[in-house]
Chain A
Amino acid sequence: MAVLEVKGLRMYYATTEGEVKAVDGIDFELNEGEVLGIAGESGCGKSSLATTLLKLLPKNATIKEGKLMVDGQDMIQMPDAVVRRDVRWTKVAMVPQGAMNSLNPVFRVGDQITEAILAHSEMSKSEAKARTAELFRLVGIDPSRYRVYPHEFSGGMKQRAMIAMALALQPKVLLADEPTTALDVVVQAGIIRLLISLKEELKMAIILISHDLALVAQMSDKTAIMYAGKFVEYGPSKRVYASALHPYTLGLLRAFADIRKPKQELVSVPGSPPDLVNPPSGCRFNPRCPYAEEVCREKEPPLQEAEEGHFVACHFWREIQARGKQP
């Protein structure tokens, strides 16, 4: 069953230079207990998409069109007060980017989580405290540390506390935006294991946003590659990594060091992400694409189904697929 359904979602920022088309026509469905990974470079719109999904937008941002169905109700049509009461935290919760710095340094960690529960539910204070202790256990923090202040926690512990807070009201969807940036590799591995176990234990759907394709590969059932406000490739993770069909996905995979492989030469994706005020005509990736031809500058390729459940937006995906199958 789909817990989240996104259709034709567009969100633009108004700036003095013009409209920034940060989220420009996104469609996907997320089922119960499913993990969707969204990967792309900085500036591709992935964090903007996350804030749009929660309707936590700055003043200059507008949702131009689209549907955002949570449990069968369209969030776009809901007044803000209703979103706050019925959706945020209870149905969709977020672990923000840089979550480690999101705790207030002058309040005890446990109290901050209890506070969040009290603000969003009917629980009594003692019930909320008990719930906080339970959440601590769930994310691997000893409940006896309820009364510590954030500075007494390491980076990894703070991140666990932020995950605990997001889980407080048993959301159906957890949005994790770069949940491991600035963490050391062993600590990062601990957070990955935690998210995997939460997904299995709580049957929660997770949207994982990261620039790190290896991190996304660790736990995503489906992977979307985002470029210039759009999904350019989307499908079951196994298919996207094993037989990528978009030149951008291929480029990202080639730029990635893989610890299992013998010494390899890394290849960067030339150029930089486009200006989203005046994106390139046709396919937005065409100025950086090694396969670009005339048609790519003229016509925008639609996101089409290349194989079951695997979508790609490229005029030449058939050629790329054929080449991939050659020995």
Chain B
Amino acid sequence: MSDDEVVLKIDHLTKYFSVRKSFLQALSRSASQMVHAVDDVSFEVKKGEVFGLAGESGSGKTTVVRTALMLTRPTSGSILFKGQDISRMSQRMLKKYRPKIQIVFQDPYESVNPRMTIFEIVSEGLYVNRLVSSRAEAIDKVTKALRDVQLTPPEEYINRHPHELSGGQRQRVAIARALVLDPEIVLADEPVSMLDVSIRAEVINVLLAIRQKRGISILMVTHDLALSKDVVDELAIMYVGKIVEKGPAQQVVSIPYHPYTHALTAAVPVPDPEAPKVRVLAKGEIPTNISPPSGCRFHPRCPFAQAVCAEKEPPLEEVAPGRFAACHFSKEVHEAFSKGLDGPVGSNAAF
């Protein structure tokens, strides 16, 4: 259903944060350290598409979202909203674009004000952005948004407070708050991870329905690969500030081109006691973003790593139609995974 119009383009985005020095370090005038939160990341979100960003904590996915919202300015690179570079705009100019790029936060217990009614929560943005001229108009828009997130009949909800709603309903209020401003893209940062599994589907299905109905694009951050496969069209996997693999979600999750993606999928438990158990294929722990490993950032943990991986950083390249990976051995890796192996062909890493 997506056509080719690009709504959001992230172009060579880099964001470093400086680490606060301790008193002694400041005295000794040592060079300040930088956290490489996001390092040269590019992708496009098309109209009506659900784009997923997945990875472990510290991979930089939330920083991408915060920068795309212009809550923090990029160190370098640009963010284009329908061709307009918003990363260099003044706050005043940005105001015009803010309603078009909206966010739904992770925790609906924290993100809605408990003292406001549902009407106040959903309509606040309309007043802030001066999008309505009368209360009647506001009520009309709020009602419509509540109907779109299936809080029906809306009249029953507008005067309630958040504590009267379940977690799933609260998250739908948060979606309505984004929707009421008529955005072109909604960024959803782990929108269901705080919710019980039994009600996750209700929130996901609402997001998919608004995409269908209004042609809104969705940029979804998630760590749940099983869910991505069912929800996301295009999926990018991030590792220590970089995109290591990108492509159609189902393909990426079923047979990856990057060993890290495979390590993630092998660690996902499946709801079937007779299925093979989870496997830990990445050695050690995720490195810090302060001094990431040389060459390929995954090489110290990778079963396929060779000398070149420590020396040269692999670029993100198209390795098959629509499939991108940043790995020197993506072809070999893909071949091994297609054969059901967890390591290089010829080793005995099969399960």
Q: How many angstroms from the CA of A260 to the CA of B199 in the assembled complex?
A: 21
B159 lies within 8 A of chain A by Cβ:
no
Contacts of A101 in B (CB 8 A): none
Query: B202: nearest residue on chain A (CB-CB)?
Result: A268
Complex contact A189–B271 (CB within 8 A): no
Q: Does A159 contact B (CB under 8 A)?
A: no
Stretch of B86-94, B100-108, B262-270 that contacts chain A: B262-270
Closest residue on chain B to residue A240 by CB atoms: B273
What sequence of 0s and 1s flags, for each residue 205-225 of chain A, a beta carbon within 8 Å of any chain B beta carbon?
000000111110111100100
Query: Which one of B5-13, B114-122, B275-283, B306-314 is at the interface?
Result: B275-283
List of A residues within 8 angstroms of B279 by Cβ: 189, 193
Among the stretches B141-149, B226-234, B323-331, the one at the interface with A is B226-234
Contact between B205 and A266, CB atoms less than 8 A apart: yes
In the assembled complex, the Cα of A275 lies from the Cα of B285 at a distance in Å of: 43
B197 within 8 A of A: yes
Question: In the complex the two chains form, is B223's CB within 8 Å of A184's CB?
Answer: yes
How far, in angstroms, from A284 to B204 measured CA to CA in the complex? 27
Q: Are A217 and B264 in contact (CB under 8 A)?
A: no
Are B230 and A263 touching (Cβ within 8 A)? yes
The CA-CA distance from A41 to B230 in the complex, in Å, is 22
Q: Which of B56, B270, B277 contacts A259 (CB 8 A)?
A: B270
The answer for the CA separation of A212 and B224 in the assembled complex, in Å, is 12
Q: Is B156 an interface residue (CB 8 A)?
A: no
| CB pair A238 B226 closer than 8 Å | no
B198 at interface (Cβ–Cβ under 8 A)? yes
Closest to A212 in B: B197
A196: Cβ under 8 A from any B Cβ: yes
| Nearest-CB residue, chain B, relative to A155 | B57
Knowing A185-B223, A189-B279, A218-B277, say if A268 contacts B270 (CB, 8 Å): no
Give which listed residue, B250, B263, B270, contacts A214 with CB less than 8 A. B270
The answer for the CA separation of A238 and B272 in the assembled complex, in Å, is 8
Contact B166 A257 (CB under 8 A): no
Write out the residue numbers on chain A whose beta carbons fall within 8 Å of the beta carbon of B198. Answer: 41, 251-252, 255, 268-269
Assess the A263–B267 pair: CB atoms within 8 A. Answer: no
Complex formed: what's the CA distance from A260 to B268 in Å? 10
Expressed in whole angstroms, the Cα–Cα distance for A184 and B166 within the complex equals 26
B228 to chain A, nearest CB (A): 8
Q: How many A-B residue pairs have CB under 8 A?
A: 131
B253 within 8 A of A: yes
State in angstroms the CA–CA spacing of A156 and B56 once bound together: 13
The closest CB in chain A to the CB of B199 belongs to A268
Determine which of A187, A211, A218, A268 lies in contact with B269 in the assembled complex, contact meaning CB atoms within 8 Å.
A218
Return chain B residues, CB-CB under 8 Å to A196.
277
B274 within 8 A of A: yes
Q: For chain A, give the interface size range.
A: 35 or more
Residue-wise, chain A 88-106 has the 8 Å CB interface mask toward B (1 for contact) of 0000000000000000000
Question: Known contacts A189-B280, A196-B277: does B166 contact A213 (CB below 8 Å)?
Answer: no
Taking a contact as CB atoms under 8 Å apart, the answer to whether A268 and B168 are in contact is yes
- Chain A residues within an 8 Å CB radius of B201: 255, 266-268
**B274 closest partner in A (C-beta):** A238
Contact assessment for B200 and A186 in the assembled complex, using a CB-CB cutoff below 8 Å? no
Cα(A218)–Cα(B272), bound, Å: 7
B225 interface residue (CB < 8 Å to A): yes
Question: How long is the Cα–Cα vector from A255 to B280 in the complex, in angstroms?
Answer: 26
A316 within 8 A of B: no
Interface residues of A in 243-300 (CB under 8 A from B): 251-253, 255-260, 262-270, 272
Contact between A257 and B226 (Cβ–Cβ < 8 Å)?
Answer: yes
Q: Does B196 make an interface contact (CB < 8 A)? A: yes
Q: Quick one: CB contact mask for A39-68 with B, threshold 8 Å, 1 for yes?
A: 001100000000000000000000000000
CB of B282, distance to nearest CB on chain A (Å)? 6
Given known contacts A196-B277, A218-B278, A241-B271, A263 and B197 CB-to-CB distance under 8 angstroms: no
Contact B272 A186 (CB under 8 A): no
Asked if A214 and B271 make an inter-chain contact with CB atoms under 8 angstroms apart, the answer reads yes
Chain A residue, CB-CB nearest to B250: A263
> Are the CB atoms of B199 and A257 closer together than 8 Å?
no
Give Cα A272 to B196, complex, Å.
Answer: 10
* A268 to B253 CA separation, bound complex (whole angstroms): 23
A220 to B273, Cβ gap below 8 A?
Answer: yes
- Picked from B229, B265, B270, B273, the residue with its CB within 8 Å of the CB of A237 is B273
8 Å CB contact of B278 from A42, A192, A241: A192
* Residue A121, interface by CB 8 Å: no
Contact A259 B202 (CB under 8 A): no
Which of A42, A185, A268: most chain B Cβ within 10 A?
A185
Q: Which residues of A contact B230 (CB under 8 A)?
A: 257, 263-266
Contact status B285-A259, CB under 8 Å: no
Cross-chain contact B226 with A190 (CB below 8 angstroms): no
1/0 per position for B28-44, CB-CB distance to A under 8 A? 00000000000000000
Interface contact A257-B224, CB-CB below 8 Å: yes
- Any B CB within 8 A of the CB of A154: yes
Residues from chain B with Cβ under 8 Å of A212 in the complex: 197, 269
CB distance from B336 to the nearest CB of A (A): 19
Contacts of A264 in B (CB 8 A): 230
Taking CB atoms, residues of chain B closer than 8 Å to A257 are 224, 226-227, 229-230
Among B57, B197, B286, point to the contact of A256 (Cβ < 8 A): B197
- Which A residues lie at the B interface, using CB under 8 A? 41-42, 154, 156, 184-190, 192-193, 196, 211-215, 217-220, 223, 237-238, 241-242, 251-253, 255-260, 262-270, 272
Top 5 A-B pairs, shortest CB-CB distance:
A189-B267, A266-B201, A268-B201, A257-B226, A214-B269
- Chain B interface residues toward A at CB < 8 A: 56-57, 166, 168, 196-202, 204-205, 223-227, 229-230, 250, 253, 263-275, 277-280, 282, 285-286
* Contacts A/B (CB < 8 Å), 5 sampled: A218-B269, A241-B274, A259-B225, A263-B250, A269-B199
